[in-house]
């Protein structure tokens, strides 16, 4: 049975392959990129980055169906990372003329794996597709299920869109006050060392761990711990 150090070694090797594959993709060397990503998954079958990049590669060459299949596999690897694929997946569904199906898939992800970043993606999809009322209903229901300050901030954003003009100024004032408080809980945090930053990293700048820095906001850690 592999020990902890073996697992870390496997992660490092897989991520090195991903780094190389990303460079190959920049230079349109698709076959070499695919080979490297396949190797990454042989070393570490749970390498989310490799699966995400395989989807990116398929989308880049116009194979939308394969791209969707790749991104959907992230749910079995580590659903915390689904938010990284959300907007890409919806864009490909739109290209294939299946926008509604894409939105329903994202809503299913959000229901099974609540995430503030995923909520933001689904909110914007609902707003664009069904309008402000539908987007507001989505955020309201999600806030009842998973109450967070960041969710409240998103609810107020939606409420401003549907409110009568005479009430918008008051709502915007409340939203600005809430937003000032959410800045400190809107950061990402490493699972291993707790390092916080405003952007997502595949490798934690604090401890150097790979895939220890999930797209999960500080407030979500505080709720689940």
Q: Could you list the mean pLDDT of each consecutive 10-residue stretch along the chain, which spans 225 residues? A: 65 95 97 97 96 98 97 96 96 96 96 89 91 89 83 83 87 81 73 86 89 73 47
**In this predicted structure, what is the pLDDT of residue 183?**
67
Give the pLDDT score at 223. Answer: 47
Query: Which among 221, 207, 211, 213 has a CA at the least distance from the CA of 48?
Result: 211
Maximal C-alpha separation, the chain:
65
pLDDT of residue 18: 97
Q: Do the beta carbons of residue 153 and residue 219 sit within 8 Å?
A: no
Q: Tell me, what's the pLDDT at 51?
A: 98
Distance CA 74, CA 82 (A): 6
What's the pLDDT at 122?
93
Find out whether 107 and 73 touch, Cβ atoms under 8 Å: no
Q: What HEC string does 185-208 produce? A: HCCEECCCCCCEECCCCCECCCCC
Q: What is the pTM of this model?
A: 0.84
Instruction: Tell me the domains of the chain and their CATH numbers.
Output: 1-77 (1.25.40.10), 187-225 (no CATH)
pLDDT for the residue 25? 97
């Amino acid at each position: 049975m592999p020990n902890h150090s073996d697992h870390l070694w496997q992660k490092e090797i897989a991520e090195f392959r991903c780094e190389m594959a990303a460079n190959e993709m920049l230079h349109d060397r698709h076959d070499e990129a695919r080979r490297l990503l396949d190797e990454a998954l042989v070393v570490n079958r749970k390498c989310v980055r490799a699966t995400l990049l395989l989807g990116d590669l398929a989308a880049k060459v116009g194979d939308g169906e394969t791209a969707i299949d790749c991104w959907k596999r992230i749910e079995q690897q580590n659903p915390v990372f689904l938010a990284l694929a959300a907007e890409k997946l919806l864009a490909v569904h739109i290209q294939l003329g299946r926008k509604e199906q894409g939105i329903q898939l994202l809503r299913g992800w959000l229901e099974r794996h609540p995430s503030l970043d995923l909520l933001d993606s689904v909110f914007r999809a609902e707003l664009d597709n069904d309008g402000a009322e539908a987007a507001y209903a989505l955020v309201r229901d999600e806030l009842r299920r998973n109450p967070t300050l960041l969710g409240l901030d998103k609810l107020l954003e939606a409420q401003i869109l549907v409110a009568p003009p005479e009430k918008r100024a008051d709502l915007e004032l409340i939203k600005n006050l809430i937003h000032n408080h959410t800045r400190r809980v809107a950061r990402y945090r490493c699972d291993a060392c707790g390092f916080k930053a405003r952007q997502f990293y595949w490798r934690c700048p604090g401890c150097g761990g790979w895939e220890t820095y999930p797209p999960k906001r500080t407030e979500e850690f505080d709720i689940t711990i």
